[in-house]
C-alpha cells in the first residue's frame, strides 16, 4: 500500500520533472484526464517559480523582456531544480547558470547584472547589526592605540568586481529612468553594496580603498592597512588616507565596533 509520504515524494518528483510515476495514482474521468489534472499543477508550479525569479531579478527581466526571461527561467529550472523548502533561495544559482550554461547573447553582461541583483538581495536580507560605531567614538581612541585597532563590520555588506557599468544601469531600470549606454572596462571595477536602515546603497571603490576595506573586513589592524597602502600612497600621507577611509566607512554606517589586534 502506498503511503501518503510516498505519494508526496512522487508528486514532488513529477513537479520538478524527475519522474511521471505519480500519473498511475491519479484518477482520470471523462471530463479530466490524469495528465491534464497533473498538468495544471505542473504549469502552476513553474509559473510560481518564474514569478519568484522575476522578483529577485527584476532588472534582468525588464532588460530581456518577459518572454525571453521566461524561456531563460525555464531552462534555469531544468538545470537547477528548486531544492530548498523556501523559494527565497531558488534564484541563488542564476549568476552561475548565466556564466556556465546560458547560450544567449551578452552572457557576460547578463551574468554580472544577475550577480549584482543577487548581491542586493543578500544585503537587504542580511541580519541586523544593532548599534553602530559613531564618528565621536573614533575621537575617543588614544593616538597610541590606533596602530592596533581592528574593525568589525555589519553583516549587510557585499562587494563584487564588474567589468560592465551594471549598477547605474540596474538603478535606472529599477527607477524607470533613462538607461545609460552599456560600457565595458578594460579592468573590473569593485562595487560596494550595503544596507542603511531599509535602503540598499552602492558606490564604486578605488583600487586602494577596495584593498583596504577587504583587509579591514578580514581583521587586519590599522597599522597593517597603512603598511599595505604604501603600494599606492606616500608614507607621509598614508595614515591620513587610511583614517579617511575609516571615517568614510563609519559615516556610511558599515562599522559595528572597534577592537584590538
pLDDT of residue 40: 47
- Region of poorest pLDDT, from 20-24, 101-105, 249-253: 20-24
| pLDDT at 156 exceeding the cut of 90 | yes
> What is the Cα–Cα distance from 50 to 80, expressed in whole angstroms?
13
Q: CA 238, CA 166: separation in Å to the nearest integer?
A: 31
Residues 47-96 pLDDT 10s: 888 999 999 999 999 999 999 999 999 999 989 988 877 888 999 999 99
CATH entry 3.40.50.1980 includes domain 105-261: no
Over 60: is that where the pLDDT of 33 sits? no
C-beta neighbour count of 69 within 10 angstroms: 19
pLDDT-derived band at 30 (thresholds 50, 70, 90) equals low
Q: What pLDDT was estimated at residue 86?
A: 83
Q: Which pTM does this prediction carry?
A: 0.84
Under the banding of pLDDT at 50, 70 and 90, the label for residue 244 is very high
Domain boundaries of the chain, sorted by first residue: 1-92, 105-261
What is the spatial distance between Cα 188 and Cα 185, in angstroms, rounded to a whole number? 6
Q: Return the number of other C-beta atoms located less than 10 Å from residue 251's C-beta.
A: 11
Question: Which has the minimum average pLDDT: 166-170, 244-248, 256-260?
Answer: 256-260
Phi and psi dihedrals of 260, rounded to 5?
-130, 140
DSSP states of 135-184 as a string?
Answer: HHHHHTS-GGGGGGEEEEEPSSEEEEEEEE-HHHHHHHHHHT-PPPPP-E
Amino acid at each position: 500500500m502506498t503511503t501518503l509520504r510516498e505519494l508526496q515524494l512522487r508528486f514532488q518528483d513529477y513537479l520538478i520533472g524527475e519522474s511521471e510515476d505519480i500519473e498511475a495514482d491519479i484518477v482520470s474521468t471523462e471530463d479530466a484526464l490524469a495528465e491534464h489534472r497533473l498538468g495544471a499543477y505542473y504549469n502552476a508550479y513553474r509559473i510560481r517559480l518564474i514569478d519568484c525569479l522575476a522578483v529577485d531579478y527584476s532588472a534582468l527581466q525588464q532588460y530581456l523582456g518577459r518572454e525571453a526571461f521566461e524561456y531563460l527561467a525555464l531552462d534555469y529550472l531544468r538545470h537547477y531544480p528548486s531544492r530548498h523548502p523556501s523559494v527565497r533561495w531558488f534564484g541563488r544559482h542564476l549568476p552561475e547558470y548565466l556564466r556556465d550554461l546560458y547560450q544567449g547573447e551578452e552572457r557576460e553582461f547578463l551574468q554580472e547584472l544577475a550577480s549584482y541583483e543577487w548581491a542586493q538581495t543578500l544585503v537587504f536580507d542580511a541580519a541586523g547589526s544593532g548599534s553602530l560605531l559613531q564618528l565621536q567614538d573614533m575621537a575617543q581612541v588614544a593616538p597610541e592605540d590606533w596602530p592596533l585597532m581592528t574593525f568589525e563590520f555589519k553583516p549587510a555588506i557585499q562587494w563584487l568586481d564588474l567589468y560592465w557599468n551594471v549598477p547605474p544601469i540596474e538603478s535606472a531600470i529599477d527607477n524607470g529612468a533613462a538607461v545609460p549606454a552599456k560600457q565595458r572596462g578594460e579592468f573590473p571595477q569593485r562595487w560596494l553594496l550595503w544596507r542603511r536602515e531599509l535602503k540598499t546603497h552602492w558606490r564604486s571603490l578605488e583600487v586602494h580603498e577596495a584593498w583596504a576595506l577587504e583587509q579591514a573586513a578580514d581583521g587586519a589592524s590599522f597599522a597593517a592597512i597603512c603598511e599595505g597602502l604604501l603600494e599606492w600612497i606616500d608614507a607621509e600621507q598614508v595614515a591620513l588616507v587610511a583614517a579617511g577611509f575609516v571615517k568614510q566607512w563609519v559615516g556610511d554606517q558599515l562599522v559595528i565596533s572597534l577592537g584590538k589586534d
